[in-house]
Structure 1
Amino acid sequence: MARHDWQPNYSVILKHGDIESRTTMLVDYGAELSLISLKVGQDLGYTLADSESTLLAETIGGRVEYVLRNVEMTIDEHNLITPVAWLQTNTGGEQLLLGREVVFDKFNIEFRQAEEQIIFTWRESLKS
């Protein structure tokens, strides 16, 4: 059995207020929402409101707590606002996920595993 170890990671800029962070996110067709870690959210300046409740989600690694945040994202010079799940549980990992909501509506995304390449095509440029 052959195994291809490439992971479809893509460079993304996350922004909140005046704070900007260039990072790499795993493009995950199976994820409805994009996901950022507790640390990345804190680095962007996010805080919890006093009365804010966390939500629970089941993942491969078990149950995690999160809150929703809208993040300004830049992908290939295109800016968009997308909801993300900001983890409230320190999972020990820093893997960020680029999920379907908003992102997959704004871009056609082509996976070329043999070339270890992902191609994002802005959908607005496809309209005649």
Structure 2
Amino acid sequence: MEQSFLEDVRQHLGLSEEEFSKYTDNAAEVEKILERNNVVFTYEFKLVFYSHIISFCQRLETNEKLNVTNSGFEEEISKDAYSISSEIIKMLSEKYETEADDLEIILAAIQIQLALEFQNQ
């Protein structure tokens, strides 16, 4: 992953270099999963996606759960996007020794599905 992109994510989240450095290995592992599944984001979507992933890792560290109700989006998500997202969220959850949250999987899947749809246009 390009250092300039990581710096953009860090600045977008307003994290110090020290705080952000705790998450770069996770971002690299996520990137491998995306590459293996041929998911390519536009720059803006990639920035939003990785900001979400880093924020998710921060929530995992503090055992914080999202306080959002399930709004039925899972019915609109493709099996491929859900599967890729599930692999990412479960991998990160295991690293922090917590259970994967289905809502986190759905949120990441929405972003992955958008990327896949843009690729197919």
Normalised to the residue count of structure 2, the TM-score between the two structures is 0.24
Higher-strand-fraction structure = 1
Larger Cα Rg: Structure 1 or Structure 2? 1
More helix by share: 2
